[in-house]
Chain A
Amino acid sequence: MRLDLRRYAKPLAESALSVLIGVAVGTLLVILAGYSPVVFFKALFGGAFRSRNAFLDTLSYMVPLTLTAISFAVAARASVFNIGAEGQMYIGALVANAIGVMALPNGAHQVVAILAAFLAGGLWGWIAGILKAKRQVNEVVSTIMLNWLAFYLVNYVATYHLYDPKAPYKTEYVRETARLPELIPRTSLTLDWVLTILIAFLMFFLVWKTSLGYEIRATGINPTAAEYGGVDPSKVISISMFLSGGAGGLAGAFLVLGRFGFITTTLTNILNWGFDGIAVSLVGRNHPIGILFSALFFALLYNGALEVQVATATGGKTGVPIELVLAVMGIIVIAVAVPGLWDMVQERLLLRRKRVEVRGEAAGTVGGE
């Protein structure tokens, strides 16, 4: 139950090696396309540090990445594969936006909007949880379907009810009383960054220090033993999906109350963070502290991607096309995610094998000699 630093040495080394492999493969791609890999990677990894604003913007990218990753991780600890952070985030964003345009006093306004978004996202996640727990509906299928439901629901409400009469392509701005204060004036780094770090530590506390966390982990590793231990696995699965959805909802709320203040009616400004969160979580090994570092890494890449296009444009030559940047980023992300993904796949297979064994044999098992 203690924090053992040695336990983190192996995943850290694996991640570092993976980055190198990703860069090596990416280098080939960049050379093939006729650009200098030195300039390319200097910009990709260094872009975030080119200016104070760029760096602060990078930090603020961490917010949705961390929260959607936590959404994935909490469910993953209970062995539930939540692909639905994306939709849970839409719902959170919509609810935060809807409450944000109401008239409420500063301070209370943010709190109400954030809590409501958490609850709404949580309920959205809980639907998939309860379907899995009670009706054995595969959560991958149900969360993907719920993503689309959320997309069109938010799209509909934004288009017909919440739209800004002066700019109907987007929703009305949330009121100043609902906006999260800027940590540093006139930058995109707002209070939600601090809240996000706190939430990551809260997840650590919840999963490793509370009875509920104990039960979530027990259910995730060995559901039959958890049941023996007095745990109701269906309850734990629905609770963890509620918390998972809540984290997704918060991601949406913070995007609206912090960075943007609105959503476009086709959701373009908040799209895809939920899916990125899956990768962030895998790279961070579904561990909240790992997720914080992994989210920072992803944020650096996102910011660097913009810089790459500028930096590689020399003389009359245009910069690297964004597609190539995304491809290289994709290679790095896949390389980095492989060890974590491999662990998860192995665990799943192991669980299945155990179940087959158990079903097949009543025999007692003896540890290998």
Chain B
Amino acid sequence: MAEYAIEMRGMVKIYPGGTVALKGVDFAVREGEIHGLLGENGAGKTTLMEILYGTRSPTEGEIFVRGRRVEIRSPRDAMALGIGMVHQHFTLIPVFTALENVVLGDEPVRSAGLLDVQAARARVEELMDQTGLHVPLDEPVENLSTGERQRIEILKMLYRNADILILDEPTAVLTPLETKELFAFLKRMRGEGKTIVFITHKLREVKAITDRVTVLRKGEVVGTVDTAEVSMEELARMMVGREVLFELEKKPREPEEPKLIVEDLWVRGEGGDYAVKGVSFEVRGGEIFGIAGVEGNGQTELVEAITGLRLPDRGRVLLAGEDVTGARPHHLYARGLGHIPEDRHRRGIILEFTVAENSILGLQRLPPFMNKWGVLQESVVRDWARKVVERFEIDTPGIDAPASALSGGNQQKLIVGREIMKDPKVVVAAQPTRGLDVAATEYIRRTLLRMRDEGRAVLLVSADLDEVLMLSDRVGVMYEGELMGVVRPEEVTLEEIGMMMGGVRLEDIKSGGAKAEAESTGG
């Protein structure tokens, strides 16, 4: 058997627009290893793997699978060679059951062309037992959690006998617990001789799970190293080409009077049940108040209720001393709210609009952007857009380019820049660095700290625990719509936070009840 399960030589990819995504990449994965593919956004990781999986064609380059030269023109070709890929965005059919999704496209069929449900179920159940990946097979996928959906995607690949698995940023959508389970699973797969390529930009995960790692930067290979022989700092340097600051300087600061007060807020979720159950807190000027917790515990609904996108059932929201409960977004913006929304493509930005147009989203009816006749003042808008681009170092072909031409990090900078240029008293930032590369993440975090130092009140909601603990002055942990406790990051242990994320109240932890610990599911 050849040493390498996969070898890619001299891969070049030039996109039709002229963007060079890969500049002659050599990439080799050993049989039976977990190989990390590390790089910032835009480094070419996904492009390289999409070529391997046949969803993109290379401009130049050769691919060898187990020493044999192959042409991969479609996922079908890749699958025939035993290569399977789990994309960042899932490709499941929401109304189909888990079982139907797993077998779709490769269904066991009885003589009359009928689906052989029993055979399908038997095969998938056997697969679940072998791998330890369990999902409720008869549940429509739309009712399943993100972690379960990912398991279905993996099962789908294994069902098609993939022995080389490519996972594209698999932990981006997972809770810490689910991540742990995924890693355990990957190690088991390695034990059974499967080969795994793990695309990520998280250094900690590279260290935790991979045997070797290839670092890509701007379409070129920086190097391939044994994971055990490099430190996180070295990896970070390879990835970004400079030292990354893991610790941000946070000056001590005396908080001022409360600028955002939330009192006993009750908010219903999509299904009509309460997603937020009586949450109260206040955020002072010059303070970052963080909300941690596993995603889906009411954070989204809480933010929407505060920012005017969802009507609370009960409770009050006070912005700079004024009761703004149930006020609409434009009303709140006029009173000093800045909102960096959780999902930038859904809320924060209109991809088809130009950078200039996006730079006034939410300001389109305010002077000086609009005159009294309702006409947009183009020169004012353009000046403003230029200022946002300049001040926030947004990399764009110009202010007339559509937002879709910007990278994810620059789109987020555009949103953050717009919200901050409004000179808000209160900034609500939801998942502000999700999916961003190291440099953009650091930039956004620094900006949030600057907001705090300027005396603004910052509400930071993030599923990234490190981020919340690093930036916040105080942290509230949310679990099933309630705050389990509010703590200072320097006074709390990770175990305590984990227990709160798992549903144990702070006072129960402090009293050290054995019952509480038994209930804890860990974080």
Contact = CB atoms under 8 A, between A and B. Distances in A.
Interface string A217-233: 11001101111111110
A230 B327 CA distance: 11
A344 interface: no
Interface in A203-252: 209-212, 214-215, 217-218, 221-222, 224-232
B381 A1 contact: yes
B376 A365 contact: no
Interface in A284-343: none
A1 B329 contact: no
Contacts of A357: 89
Contacts of A212: 374
Interface in B17-62: 21, 41-47
**Which one of B341, B376, B378 has the greatest number of beta carbons of chain A within 10 Å?**
B376
B333 A364 contact: no
A211 B381 CA distance: 12
A226 B349 CA distance: 9
A232 B328 contact: yes
Given A211-B374, A229-B329, A361-B89, A366 B435 contact: yes
B183 interface: no
A369 B343 CA distance: 19
Interface residues of B, number: 68
Interface string A258-293: 000000000000000000000000000000000000
B128 interface: no
Nearest to B356: A1
Contact of B364 (A211, A360, A361, A366): A211
Contacts of B406: 367
A358 B346 contact: yes
A271 B65 CA distance: 67
Which size class do A's interface residues fall under? 35 or more
Contacts of A4: 400
A367 B376 contact: no
**Which one of B329, B341, B350, B357 has the greatest number of beta carbons of chain A within 10 Å?**
B350
A354 B345 contact: yes
B447 interface: no
Contact of B347 (A214, A228, A361): A228
B365 A211 contact: yes
Contacts of A2: 400
Interface string B431-466: 100111000000000000000000000000000000
A362 interface: yes
Contacts of A369: 21, 41-47
A13 interface: no
A188 B360 CA distance: 46
Interface of A: 1-2, 4, 209-212, 214-215, 217-218, 221-222, 224-232, 354, 356-369
19 contacts: A209-B378, A211-B375, A214-B360, A221-B350, A222-B351, A224-B346, A227-B309, A228-B347, A228-B348, A229-B361, A230-B364, A359-B94, A363-B89, A363-B146, A365-B408, A366-B41, A367-B411, A369-B41, A369-B42
Interface of B: 21, 41-47, 88-90, 92, 94, 142, 146, 149, 169, 172-173, 295-296, 300, 307, 309, 328-331, 333, 339, 341-354, 356-357, 360-362, 364-365, 369-370, 374-376, 378, 381-382, 400, 406-408, 411, 431, 434-436
